[in-house]
């Protein structure tokens, strides 16, 4: 595992912007991982080494292959729209960490192509999150600044997010020389606030999601206390939008607290007074259905059609089987699956889930108030720059 830098990184800049005090709170706390993040690391490593076939999981190979296709299309398209300079050799750099501003920030991008004074940098996103827009992404903005600071000839940077699981699969933003100057000032301002002793803590869904300090953050924990004071019918309807936002943060805090408690109790069963680890129930899985059918048939004369009635066929497993025996993939495989499943699948809706309505959220008083505050901050920020 790569050692985490002691300073703020490009990937943590958004968090530092939203919650300036999060940097000091997280110092010295270990990284936490999950299966999706580990899969992302394997895919990134395979793409860096151009060794996609080393990936054992077929879905990871497919995702890495699509990411490599998008990378090739991105680079070809960049130089098709902006032809190469005569006599200039393209410099393609992968997985390099750059730092700037006396090592107060660094970033490790996935790839960088430099052609005279122009640069194209790209970064893979292999998760299932909502589409990332490069234009508003502080990580990509910081990468662009790092490139401009470390390659003095570079005056134009195009930053791209490659996200093969999500549409659009590529998101681009272009930075001119003036844009890079403004971006540099913005990044430095965020860093100054975050490194300042006593920087304010501002819990929220985005900044708390991957915070390594959320399980013992008093300000974040206070959100759950606020919710515990509410009871059923006493919850005012006009407070629901604000309370739903609080719930989204509180769920992250609750999960982090419970995970930490399990870890402590696993290390020392007496570490948390009044609590213990209760063994999980054993969950059985039938792994040899053919053998089970043979036994049922021999002992009770159960027929194949009777046995099939109690079997559960998973669509994902069936699709893998059809793909294996037919060699089909893509559109052809989808059409085959649609044909096979026609008339044999019963659909029933799950309980409706709560989701943000992006079309109407801009009309909410809270959103408008936050936007006014943000615009005022930007106004004051650029006034300060003009005085310098």
Secondary structure of the chain in the HEC alphabet?
Answer: CCCCCCCEEHHHHHHHHHCCCHHHHHCCCCCCCCHHHHHHHHHHHHHHCCCHHHCCCHHHHHHHHHHHHHHHHHHHHHHHHCCCCCCCCCEEEECCEEEECCCCEEEECCEEEEECCEEEEEEECCCCCCCCCHHHCHHHHHHHHHHHHHCCCCCEEEEEEECCCCCCCEEEEEECHHHHHHHHHHHHHHHHHHHCCCCCCCCCHHHHHCCCCHHHCHHHHHHHHHHHCCCHHHCCHHHHHHHHHHHHHHHHHHHHHHHHHHHHHHHCCCCCCCCCCCCCCCCCCCCCHHHHHHHHHHHHCCCHHHHHHCCCCCHHHHHHHHHHHHCCCHHHHHHHHHHHHCCCCCCCCCCCCCCCCCCCHHHCHHHHHHHHHHHHHHHHHHHHHHHC
Would you state the structure tokens that stand for residue 339, as one six-digit string? 């044909």
Pairing type for strands 105-108 and 111-115 reads unpaired
Closest to 32 in 3D by CA, of 212, 257, 221: 212
| Rounded-to-10 torsion of CA 25, 27, 32, 38 | 130
Residues of the chain with CATH 3.90.320.10: 8-200
C-alpha 209, offset from chain centre: 10
pTM of the model as a whole: 0.68
pLDDT tens digits in sequence order for the chain, 388 residues long? 456 678 999 999 999 999 999 999 998 888 777 788 888 899 999 998 889 999 988 889 999 999 999 999 998 888 877 776 666 667 788 888 999 999 999 999 999 999 889 999 999 998 876 677 888 899 999 999 999 999 999 999 999 999 998 888 999 999 999 999 999 999 999 999 999 999 999 888 888 888 888 888 888 878 777 777 776 666 777 778 877 877 877 888 788 888 888 888 999 989 999 999 988 888 888 989 999 999 999 999 999 999 999 998 888 889 889 999 999 988 898 899 999 999 888 878 877 877 766 555 445 555 445 555 555 555 565 556 555 5
Residues in the chain: 388
Please check whether residue 223 is in contact with residue 246, taking contact to mean a CB–CB distance below 8 angstroms: yes
Query: Whole-angstrom Cα distance, residue 124 to residue 163?
Result: 6
Would you state the structure tokens that stand for residue 98, as one six-digit string? 């750059």
Domain 8-200, classified CATH 3.90.320.10, yes or no: yes
Pairing type for strands 118-124 and 105-108 reads unpaired
């Amino acid at each position: 595992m790569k050692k985490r830098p002691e300073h703020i990184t490009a990937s943590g800049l958004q968090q530092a912007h939203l919650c300036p005090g999060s940097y000091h709170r997280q110092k010295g706390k270990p990284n936490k991982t999950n299966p999706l993040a580990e899969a992302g690391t394997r895919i990134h490593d395979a793409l860096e080494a151009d060794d996609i076939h080393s990936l054992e999981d077929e879905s990871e190979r497919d995702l890495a292959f699509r990411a490599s296709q998008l990378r090739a299309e991105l680079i070809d398209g960049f130089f098709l729209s902006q032809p190469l300079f005569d006599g200039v050799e393209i410099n393609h750099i992968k997985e390099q960490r750059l730092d700037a501003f006396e090592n107060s920030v660094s970033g490790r991008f996935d790839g960088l192509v430099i052609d005279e004074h122009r640069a194209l940098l790209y970064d893979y996103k292999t998760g299932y999150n909502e589409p990332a827009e490069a234009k508003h992404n502080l990580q990509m903005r910081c990468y662009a600044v790092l490139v401009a600071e470390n390659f003095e000839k570079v005056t134009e940077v195009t930053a791209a997010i490659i996200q093969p699981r999500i549409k659009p699969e590529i998101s681009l933003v272009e930075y001119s020389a003036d844009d890079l100057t403004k971006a540099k000032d913005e990044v430095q301002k965020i860093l100054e606030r975050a490194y300042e002793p006593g920087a304010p803590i501002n819990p929220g869904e985005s900044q708390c999601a991957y915070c390594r300090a959320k399980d013992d953050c008093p300000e974040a924990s206070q959100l759950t206390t606020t919710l515990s004071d509410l009871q059923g019918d006493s919850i005012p309807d006009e407070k629901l939008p604000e309370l739903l936002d609080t719930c989204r943060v509180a769920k992250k805090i609750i999960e982090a607290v419970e995970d930490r408690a399990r870890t402590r109790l696993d290390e020392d069963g007496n570490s948390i007074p009044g609590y213990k680890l209760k063994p999980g129930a054993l969950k059985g899985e039938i792994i040899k259905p053919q053998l089970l059918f043979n036994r049922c048939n021999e002992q009770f004369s159960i027929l194949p059609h009777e046995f099939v009635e109690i079997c559960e066929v998973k669509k994902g497993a069936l699709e893998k089987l059809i793909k294996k025996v037919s060699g089909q993939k893509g559109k052809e495989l989808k059409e085959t699956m649609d044909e096979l499943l026609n008339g044999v699948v019963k659909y029933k809706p799950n309980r409706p889930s709560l989701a943000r309505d992006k079309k109407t959220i801009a009309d909410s008083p809270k959103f408008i108030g936050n936007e006014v505050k943000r615009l005022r901050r930007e106004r004051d920020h650029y006034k300060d720059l003009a005085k310098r």
